[in-house]
Homo-oligomer: A and B are copies of this chain.
Amino acid sequence: MSILADLLMTLFERRYATDRNGDDRPLPELFHELLTSRGEVSGVQLARKILDRYASLDDAGRREVFEYLLVEMDIDVPAVQSALKAYAAAPGRGTYRQLGRAVEPGRQELARRLNQVPGATGELVRMREDLLRFSRENPMLGVVDLDFRHLFSSWFNRGFLVLRQISWSSPANILEKIIAYESVHAIQSWDDLRSRLQPADRRCFAFFHPVMPDEPLIFVEVALTRGVPDSIQDVLAESREIIEPTQANTAVFYSISNCQSGLAGVSFGNSLIKQVVADLSRELPGLATFVTLSPIPGLVKWLTDNDLVDDIHDSGRLAALAAGYLLHAKSDDGRPLDPVARFHLNNGAIVHRVHARGDLSEKGMSQSGGAMVNYLYDLGRLEDNHESYANLRQVVASREARDLAKSVRTIIEHSEEHAANG
């Protein structure tokens, strides 16, 4: 690999030969200084300089940074081999420390040292956004990404996250991010936002990391209702009657959005829902049912693939097909085709009810012909459900959903055979 590395280095050095602060050393040199003993003392200033330099780069320059990290700051395989041998021969603190140093690529320690700077954590998350983008073109960069993800899993450990309620009294700079990041049912305006936060029967919760206090990581919007709602139109209707929270018997999670694409693969959703269920149960003992009202994003595509898309306009039929899709349509690994289903089932929720006319928005119609689904979160059953799903690849569902799905099972099987033969 060294020829490539040399080549990269040359390009790299040439392009970024100067610096506004008069420090015109190339980034790789700064990386290495930060990793030395000297870097321990001058750390914060140096790390700040590296982060600024990175921020000033265009995409080509940033790609080169990651390529440098990939090639030049990888583990040294022979060194690991010999450290491993030494440890196997004489296990002990000394040999284990050597092994630990050998198996961790320099780029991990580099990221930790960059993180000394106040505010750096958010910048590193945004660096990984770039990295994930570049990895799509250059899959080898996925190697570097694993190191970032490893670090982030440690830094964004559940124990470090803070659950905060988002309300109409929250700071505007946070609320504008809620508007921007809502990815399920778009928030049209500040008035729309207010209507989701201010009424007594609405709640919103988000996870934050203490060093990124203005950046929600993930948030969930909740409606407190009487009974399980059939459609998002009912939930969001301006004219709906607002109820007292103590009168509600159901909490509906009608939108869950991840905010930081740079934290992909570091999962918070499961923890967030369970924490919110636990907190709401304590605050409002009248709540007996915790469900989502979720989109079925893959339905229309699957119906089309299976020549069933014409049935979409018949509500009864659509609900049955949607149930069938959720319960029986699987990918090669035996898991459900639908990504939202995979998320909630993996959390231990079950398929509860399917509604044909749940989301009549343009997006809803085009994705699922308007169908939506409630997943039910029963705290006492989550573990067992998850077990069935994770170990037996079983989609746990209510009797109602199973019956609905059954009615179209033969059609589905037929169309799948047809597709398989086609």
Contacts and interface: CB of A to CB of B under 8 A. Distances in A.
A37 B386 contact: yes
Given A171-B170, A348-B41, A383-B38, A118 B159 contact: yes
Given A168-B173, A172-B170, A173-B168, A146 B96 contact: yes
B158 A116 contact: yes
A175 interface: yes
Contact of A143 (B88, B91, B118, B347): B91
Interface in A263-281: 270-271, 274
Contact of A146 (B100, B119, B194, B211): B100
A276 to B, nearest CB: 13
Interface of A: 37-38, 40-44, 74, 77, 80-81, 84, 87-88, 91-93, 96-97, 99-100, 103, 112, 115-121, 139-140, 142-143, 145-146, 150-151, 153-155, 157-160, 162, 168-176, 190, 194, 198, 210-211, 214, 270-271, 274, 347-348, 382-383, 386-387, 390-391
Best-surrounded residue of A99, A116, A120, A157 (most CB of chain B within 10 A): A157
A92 B44 CA distance: 33
Nearest to A115: B159
A160 B124 CA distance: 13
Contacts of A81: 81, 84
B97 A146 contact: yes
29 contacts: A38-B387, A40-B270, A41-B382, A43-B158, A74-B91, A77-B84, A80-B103, A84-B84, A91-B143, A92-B139, A92-B140, A92-B142, A92-B143, A93-B139, A93-B142, A93-B143, A100-B150, A112-B153, A112-B154, A115-B158, A115-B159, A121-B160, A155-B160, A160-B210, A168-B171, A169-B172, A169-B173, A169-B174, A172-B175
A221 to B, nearest CB: 16
B146 A93 contact: yes
Given A37-B386, A92-B142, A120 B159 contact: yes
Given A84-B77, A112-B154, A151-B154, A38 B93 contact: no
Interface SS majority for chain A: helix
B77 A87 contact: yes
Contacts of A140: 91-93
A80 B83 CA distance: 11
A115 B172 CA distance: 32
A157 B44 CA distance: 12
Nearest to A97: B146
Contacts of A174: 169
Contacts of A158: 43-44, 115-116
Given A37-B390, A112-B153, A154-B155, 13 more contacts: A38-B386, A38-B387, A40-B386, A41-B383, A92-B140, A92-B142, A92-B143, A93-B142, A96-B146, A97-B146, A115-B160, A155-B157, A168-B173
A211 B159 contact: yes
Nearest to A150: B100
Contact of A84 (B80, B382, B386, B391): B80
Contacts of A270: 40-41
Contacts of A121: 159-160
Contact of A38 (B155, B176, B390): B390
Best-surrounded residue of A41, A115, A168 (most CB of chain B within 10 A): A41
A228 to B, nearest CB: 23
Contacts of A175: 172
